[in-house]
A and B are shown apart, each in its own frame.
Chain A
Amino acid sequence: MTVDSSAARQPRRSAAGKAGTTGSKRTTRTTAPRAKKSTEPELVQLLTPEGKRVKNAEYDAYVAGITPEDLRGLYRDMVLTRRFDAEATALQRQGELGLWASLLGQEAAQIGSGRALRDDDYVFPTYREHGVAWCRGVDPTNLLGMFRGVNNGGWDPNGNNFHLYTIVIGSQTLHATGYAMGITKDGADSAVIAYFGDGASSQGDVAESFTFSAVYNAPVVFFCQNNQWAISEPTEKQTRVPLYQRAQGFGFPGVRVDGNDVLACLAVTKWALERARSGDGPTLVEAYTYRMGAHTTSDDPTRYRADDERVAWEAKDPILRLRRYLEASNHADEGFFAELEAESEALGKRVREAVRAMPDPDHFAIFENVYADGHALVDEERAQFAAYQASFADAAEGGR
């Protein structure tokens, strides 16, 4: 079964299909022409950086029923996620975590898309989706085990329909596609969302997941957070066309959304999920956003990017934007912000205490769960390991 790009179901004035300009003037013979980095990319926006609600004929419908309480909920999600993230960064600095991949700046993309999901939808994250995990009800302290080095995952993916973090870039997009194919086979009407970065978009696995999902009309939403960087490499090192336009060549729609606008992310993801549910197949959503911090705590962005870039993006801060809107529309009062501040403090404290209390794993955990059915060699090595460990106890009791 192949798919036409079903333009009928796609909001007409979405960014999809409108080619961005790519400058292609050769400067030297040896270097390839550069894709022009458009400063004002065409994107779906419902809230301006100043916090003004702007009308959007196609997507307003998807946030039409949103109440002031919902809006405060989105705000709360973003604030608490940022707080959790800041706490984790601090814990890494204090030596409590080995590494941390911060989501600073990407809260709207994650909360907007995460809150668009239904409970029976399934999420395939990469390693930075702390905000989506929050929306799924995964306890944030569970996310920290792998960064502390006590496990390689640490939660039951089926507990909240939130798969384990995937470190190998792009792999999970294929898992998402297969899972979505399974949904179709089962005759169910849930959908799948796969997260990945602009860098990951270069991986073969991601292209293969586009192919599979298109060919099998799988109910999957590809949610690419284009945070402008893949460690030190800017998006231009991955693509010569705006990423959302890739989808067209595979036979499904792509949309670019303002990734710092939580309302727009919510609306566009809802639209894409509804397409998936109603049998119209995959969609690529490119959330255009910015990684405000380092790639991870091991990275040093001063080596490859200028400060003024960050400053320009700070003006588009996703949290500030919603706060301005809430205040201007009298949807939240001082009491709300004060209460949230207290809640945020409490979350920070809880995370700190939980991490410090996290025990080192039992040594025998090495041999646990290597196989579901057991394996003679693992048993043998576990026994050798036990004898070896016991020899230290013997030595302590006198004599090796």
Chain B
Amino acid sequence: MAEKMAMAKAINESLRRALETDPKVLVMGEDVGKLGGVFRVTDGLQKDFGESRVIDTPLAESGIVGAAIGLALRGYRPVVEIQFDGFVFPAYDQIVTQLAKMHARSLGKVKMPVVVRIPYGGGIGAVEHHSESPEALFAHVAGLKIVSPSNASDAYWMMQQAIQSDDPVIYFEPKRRYWDKSEVDFEAIPAPLHKAQVVREGTDLTLAAYGPMVKLCQEVANAAAEEGKSLEVLDLRSVSPLDFDAIQASVEKTRRLVVVHEAPVFFGSGAEIAARITERCFYHLEAPVLRVGGYHAPYPPARLEEEYLPDLDRVLDAVDRSLAY
């Protein structure tokens, strides 16, 4: 049974299925109840599952994550919503010092099946703190798993898998893709949560991206094809763990790699990918691994975000530079 739907709706359906099948699953966050979240991702869930399963919390992110940890200790599987990327920081302490480390601290006795949903990234013309991409700040912390779907089908299935995981998963939702529609097969056998996927085959260069930038990279590949260049597009899907085997396989074929993300390039996930792939594929590479991303500057006001965010031209530019080596 397959259906075409928007990513936000796919996440909603996935949460619904989890609430239906597992009485221990809870949905928590600010405005997730009657309002259905500011993006309506949790629309209708409280109506159908009640206030004890779909919980409007006080306006306190540290409280939301800290309480979710306690609920997990008690056998629940909370899926918490942080309203926007920039508001996860009041909860950063709980996530980094507690959620990430509880399993190790308890010598494996305690599981932390908590999913932290964070709508992230820019491109929607919002005010400060509503457009950031803080994934690298979390990827640096051992004990957290970090994923970001790029389409409705992955959004659906990766949420199922994240909820089933006994590890804490930070689930970054590319908010500017919420309204993009694609096919979701509800009976599919999904790819493993942390496996990258080739979404377009190519031979001249690999574009690696996740979340909001996958669609852009597909557009870049289309544009490059018109110029006679064959680009392979890899949807990484998971930032931690990262599927280096998939990147390596692609790079061994194309010999060139450009990594694209919205977050600042400096100390970003692209840096880690570049370093590892250089180690793994040194003799295959025809060009240094290039990165396209945000600048070492605060995320700018809405009227400058077009300049700040990677776009078709900037990625094509990097492609040209790589091919010129």
- Interfacial residues, chain A to chain B (CB-CB below 8 A): 30-31, 98-99, 145-152, 167-169, 199-200, 202-205, 230-233, 237-238, 298-300, 303-304, 360-361, 363, 365-367, 370, 375, 377-378, 381, 385, 388, 391-392
Contact = CB atoms under 8 A, between A and B. Distances in A.
Contacts of A385: 295, 307
A98 to B, nearest CB: 5
Contact of A149 (B30, B34, B127, B307): B127
Interface string B273-304: 00000000000000000000001111011111
A99 B127 contact: yes
Q: State the majority secondary structure of interface residues on B.
A: loop
Contacts of A391: 317
Contacts of B90: 168, 203-205
B89 A168 contact: yes
A298 B39 CA distance: 10
Contact of A238 (B33, B59, B295): B59
Contacts of B127: 98-99, 146-147, 149, 152, 167
Given A303-B34, A363-B307, A370-B297, 9 more contacts: A149-B304, A150-B301, A152-B298, A168-B86, A168-B87, A203-B59, A361-B303, A366-B295, A367-B297
A363 B296 contact: no
Q: Which 9 A-B pairs have the closest CB atoms?
A: A149-B302, A232-B35, A202-B58, A199-B59, A304-B34, A30-B52, A202-B60, A149-B303, A232-B31
B253 interface: no
Interface of B: 30-31, 33-36, 38, 51-52, 56-60, 62-63, 86-87, 89-90, 125-129, 266, 295-298, 300-304, 307-308, 313-314, 317
Contacts of B89: 168
A16 B1 CA distance: 61
B314 A203 contact: no
Q: Which of B34, B51, B86, B295 has the most CB of A within 10 A?
A: B295
A39 B203 CA distance: 70
A98 B59 contact: no
Given A30-B52, A99-B127, A200 B34 contact: no
A205 B91 CA distance: 12
B295 A381 contact: yes
B290 to A, nearest CB: 12
Contacts of A149: 125, 127, 301-304
Given A204-B90, A363-B307, A365-B300, A232 B34 contact: yes
Contacts of A99: 126-127
Nearest to B265: A381
27 contacts: A147-B127, A149-B127, A150-B303, A152-B127, A152-B300, A168-B89, A202-B58, A202-B60, A204-B62, A205-B90, A230-B30, A232-B56, A233-B31, A233-B56, A237-B56, A237-B58, A298-B38, A304-B35, A361-B300, A361-B301, A377-B266, A377-B296, A378-B296, A381-B297, A388-B314, A391-B317, A392-B313
A298 B297 CA distance: 27
B30 to A, nearest CB: 7
A2 to B, nearest CB: 26
Given A232-B35, A375-B296, A152 B128 contact: yes
A167 B129 contact: yes
B296 A370 contact: yes
Contact of B125 (A98, A231, A233): A98
B317 A388 contact: yes
A168 B297 CA distance: 19
B288 to A, nearest CB: 15
A146 B301 contact: yes
A391 B89 CA distance: 38
Contacts of B317: 388, 391
Contacts of A230: 30, 59
Contacts of B129: 167-168
Contacts of A299: 38
Nearest to A206: B60
A370 B129 CA distance: 16
B304 A363 contact: yes
Q: Which of A200, A361, A366 has the most CB of B within 10 A?
A: A366
A231 B301 contact: no
Contact of A367 (B86, B266, B295): B295
A237 B36 CA distance: 16
Contacts of A200: 59
A366 B59 contact: no
Nearest to A380: B296
Given A149-B125, A233-B56, A361-B303, A366 B63 contact: no
Contacts of B308: 366
A284 to B, nearest CB: 17
Contacts of A31: 51-52
A231 B308 CA distance: 30
Contacts of A360: 303-304
A148 B303 contact: yes
Nearest to B86: A168
B67 to A, nearest CB: 12
A314 B297 CA distance: 45
